[in-house]
Amino acid sequence: MIVMKFGGTSVGSGPMLVRVSDIVSRAPAERVVVISAMAGVTDAILNVLPRVQRDEGAIEPFLRELLNKHLAALHDAGASDAEVVKVTQEIDALLQRFERLLYGIAYTEELTAKTKDLAVSFGERLSVRLLAGVLRTRGVPAEAVDADDAGMLTDGSFGNATPIMSAIERNLERSLVGRLRNGVTPVLTGFFGCDAMGRVTTFGRGGSDYAAAIVAAALRANRLEVWKDVDGFLTADPRILKDAQPIAEMTYDEAAELAGVGAKVLHPRTVEPLKDLHVPILVRNTQQPEVQGTLITGVASVSRNALRSAATKDGLAILKIYGPGMAYTPGIGQKVFDALAKAKVNVYNMAASQASFALLIEESDLDRGLKALESIREGTIQSVEGITDMTLICVVGRGIGSTFGTSGKIFTAVGKAGVNIEMISVGASDIALNFVVKRKDRDACVRAIHHEFLFERPAPGPTEPAHSPR
Ligand code: ADP
Ligand code: ASP
Ligand code: MG
């Protein structure tokens, strides 16, 4: 049994739905398909909600556009007349429910995390019905399934839910395994589950990867295939570096470090449910199904020069705390962390010297962080300062911490590119090296590391004449 996840771009148009149907129909017969909303739909819903809250006039044009987008895709995918009728009815029923919710938001002028999660779930509820219809048109028995109906139970934190695995295992056994035995391919909504009261809870943006991993773990799948718009996990973000290369294999830990820092290709928690069960993850390209993609498992061959890939996270700030006696004041670190925790400021990274601490936090938390530290300022802490526009760079590769001279070589390459390193933490991990640069230096920094370590130039082969003689 395998789980196949297709992202928003992969199901973003009629021709893409056909492509996905072809890939699914060629896969092993026992498969569960998990998909995202069509590209742009989640963003569109999130954008319209505050407008609806102010003005109910925004509702009708929005729903009409959503309906047209899905019907056009169904049509462009060549759905049969019978499927067009069936799926159009299903979409109409969903949009009626969605309309009621939107008027509720407009009348109450209230938009909570709870209603937001319910509202965005409609993107996936719509897309699964489209793909199931297109699959059936092409002779593949398929059924759309909503994750809350299937029993994807979570802890109830809206926007950031955690699955309750034991319950999900039991529930999916009941809701999906029967369909599989009957030769039906379930097409399941990604992105969300529900709490014990049935209230919809999402796994955060990009959460369909995580949802698919939860399903693969619960069903003890042979593998999870994650189908994207890139040739696999690449050596760098292709939006930063055009010549980023696909990585053939990597380990769960490497993928988790990179995704955790911000490699958008996988939701940060995707690896979590699968690692201990040893379920392999295969990252593949919907546009190029013949490309082998990236295989993520517990073991992978050591990467060239010990480095695998680099990821970056923007929108950060450094909180600097000065005090000449800090190194001699027991408990000062605890005081600082307690104050930040109380103010709900998350610390990503830290560095310390005799007279200062530097803490890496979200830029949007900076004001709260500064206020929290002002409140504990007394003898030891002399001043507190915030520096904005920072980017975290995470370079990953097995043995990066233990391979002599690797970090030195990285910093030399970065220095040669004229980039100043604002903050470093070395030694915390054997597979990741994290440091901070100014946002404006991000691209130069990634390029320098990439060209020094990651960019595999084609091996010089035997020289061939430009025109081979016939
Ligand atoms: P999906 O909708 O299928 O989940 P996403 O857009 O969320 O797809 O993720 C794929 C995108 O992630 C790619 O198009 C690419 O721009 C971006 N990305 C960032 N870092 C990497 C990386 N290291 N390897 C591959 N893609 C990356
Ligand atoms: N549709 C959701 C989002 O855009 C989930 C996903 O695509 O993974 O965040
Ligand atoms: Mg994604």
Q: What is the pLDDT of residues 18-53, one digit of tens each?
A: 999 999 999 999 999 999 999 999 999 999 999 999
CB 264 near ligand 1, within 6 Å: yes
pLDDT tens-digit readout, 262-313: 899 999 999 999 999 999 999 999 999 999 999 999 998 776 566 899 999 9
Is it true that 2-229 and 309-454 share their CATH fold?
no
Select from 230, 266, 309, 446 the residue to mutate for testing ligand 1; criterion: most ligand atoms less than 8 Å from CB: 230
Enumerate the domain spans of the chain.
2-229, 309-454
Rounded mean pLDDT of 105-128? 98
pLDDT at position 402, please? 67
pLDDT at position 438, please? 98
pLDDT tens-digit readout, 375-410: 887 778 889 999 999 999 999 987 777 666 788 889
Question: Residue 120 pLDDT more than 60?
Answer: yes
pLDDT band for position 462 (50/70/90)? very low
Choose the CATH number for 2-229 among 2.40.30.10, 3.40.50.720, 3.40.50.620, 3.40.1160.10: 3.40.1160.10
Rounded mean pLDDT of 110-116? 97
Tell the CATH topology of 309-454.
Answer: VC0802-like (3.30.2130)
Average pLDDT score, the chain: 93
Q: Which of 179-183, 280-284, 363-367, 426-430 has the lowest mean pLDDT?
A: 426-430
pLDDT band for position 460 (50/70/90)? very low
| Nearest residue by C-alpha to atom 20 in ligand 1 | 237
CB 268 near ligand 1, within 6 Å: no
pLDDT tens-digit readout, 186-203: 999 999 999 999 999 999
pLDDT tens-digit readout, 305-343: 668 999 999 999 999 999 988 878 888 889 899 999 999
CA of 307 to the centre of ligand 1 (A): 20
pLDDT at position 305, please? 61
Question: Could you write out the three-class secondary structure of the chain?
Answer: CEEEEECCCCCCCHHHHHHHHHHHHHCCCCEEEEECCCCCHHHHHHHHHHHHHHCHHHHHHHHHHHHHHHHHHHHHCCCCHHHHHHHHHHHHHHHHHHHHHHHHHHHHCCCCHHHHHHHHHHHHHHHHHHHHHHHHHCCCCEEEECHHHHCCEECCCCCCCCECHHHHHHHHHHHHHHHHHCCCEEEEECCEEECCCCCEEECCCCCHHHHHHHHHHHCCCCEEEEEECCCCCECCCCCCCCCCCECCEEEHHHHHHHHHHCCCCCCCCCCHHHHCCCCCEEEEECCCCCCCCEEEECCCCCCHHHCCEEEEEEEEEEEEEECCCHHHCCCHHHHHHHHHHHCCCCCCEEEECCCEEEEEEEHHHHHHHHHHHHHCCCCCCCEEEEEEEEEEEEEECCCCCCCCCHHHHHHHHHHHCCCCCCEEECCCCCCEEEEEEEHHHHHHHHHHHHHHHHCCCCCCCCCCCCCCCC
CB 87 near ligand 1, within 6 Å: no
Question: Residue 363 pLDDT more than 60?
Answer: yes
Q: Report residues whose beta carbon is within 6 angstroms of any ligand 2 atom.
A: 7-8, 36-37, 42, 123, 190-191, 205-209
Question: Residue 461 pLDDT more than 50?
Answer: no
Percent of the chain with pLDDT over 90: 81
Select from 16, 36, 224, 266 the residue to mutate for testing ligand 2; criterion: most ligand atoms less than 8 Å from CB: 36
pLDDT band for position 459 (50/70/90)? very low
Between 293 and 464, where is the model more confident? Answer: 293
pLDDT at position 405, please? 79
pLDDT at position 301, please? 79
Q: What is the pTM of this model?
A: 0.93
pLDDT at position 224, please? 98
CA of 206 to the centre of ligand 1 (A): 10
